[in-house]
Amino acid sequence: MLTYQFSDKVAFITGASSGIGRETALQFAAAKANVVVSDINEKDGLAVVEEIKKNGGEAIFVQTNVADYEQVKSAIEQTLATYGRLDFGINNAGIGGPFTRISDYQLADYQQVMKINVDGVFYCMQWQLQQMLKQESGGVIINTSSIAGLRGLKNSSVYSASKHAVLGLTKSAALEYASKNIRINAICPVFTRTPLFDQMFALDPSYEERLKNNIPMKRYGQPIDIVKTILWLCSDDASFVTGQAYALDGGMTAG
């Protein structure tokens, strides 16, 4: 368990039914935050809330498709109606899209990846920022990019473009709100063991072993590796940090 204390704080987490978002929700709850588990997947989201409550934490589930502007607005409204404030916006929901070259990439797939990974982050930031601006205490936003937001990724061009866009939103917003007590950063995980990861390697398990060797630490990320940085960025220990993109990648982008 991590050692942060976020009593009376409110964390809104998208994509919180699974993987990195799920672990983020569990760790915020363990740190005594009030947690809004937001996801398109209701069944798994309710299970996360149940687990948090079983462990003595506080959480609600708000079903949200981040690609739908009105649903995002309503999710933030439900957060405020329940907990009265918003301290942390963790914009983590995202999809990988198909593995294929640009010349073969279907337009509908392109639009879906961009809608969820880019529009979704923009919608969340817009409504989160409107609330944080009203609070003297401001707030912290963390957007989930990827190492594919820092470099190209063969056969994943649209995913890579979407994650580069997340960094553009993050850095520009950090400049806009730096003087308003609102810090905005991004995390850029390397391949991390979640259902999204398993889906990626399901077709070719040998690729999983080969790719691991490209990571200097010779291991994949675990959700907790990523969540440690999310919690640190939300804590006062990171009070002078904004507009940054943290590569959480076992050294992969160092070379």
Q: Which residues bind ligand NAD (CB under 6 A)?
A: 14-15, 17-21, 39-41, 64-67, 92-95, 116, 144, 146, 189, 191-192, 194-197
Return the closest-CA partner of residue 50 out of 41, 61, 39, 38. 61
* Least Cβ distance, residue 228 to ligand NAD (angstroms): 15
Minimum CB separation from ligand NAD for residue 173, in Å? 17
Find residue 58's DSSP bridge partners.
34
Query: Quick one: 32 or 46, whose CB is closer to ligand NAD?
Result: 46
Q: Are 151 and 176 in contact (CB under 8 A)?
A: no
Collect all residues with Cβ–Cβ distance below 8 Å to 70 and sequence separation of at least 6: none
Distance CA(233)–CA(185), nearest Å, equals 8
Long-range contacts of 230-234 (CB under 8 A, 24+ apart): 230/24, 230/27, 230/90, 230/142, 230/187, 231/2, 231/4, 231/27, 231/28, 231/31, 232/4, 233/140, 233/142, 233/183, 233/185, 233/187, 234/4, 234/6, 234/11, 234/87, 234/88, 234/140, 234/142
Pairing mode, strands 139-144 and 34-39: unpaired
Q: How far is the CB of 123 from ligand NAD (least distance, A)?
A: 10
Beta strands in the chain (DSSP E): 10-14, 34-39, 58-63, 88-91, 139-144, 182-189, 245-248
105 catalytic, yes or no?
no
If the CB atoms of residues 33 and 227 are measured against ligand NAD, the closer one turns out to be 227
Shortest distance, position 4 Cβ to ligand NAD, whole Å: 20
Among 4, 105, 123, 159, the active-site one is 159
Active-site amino acid positions: 159
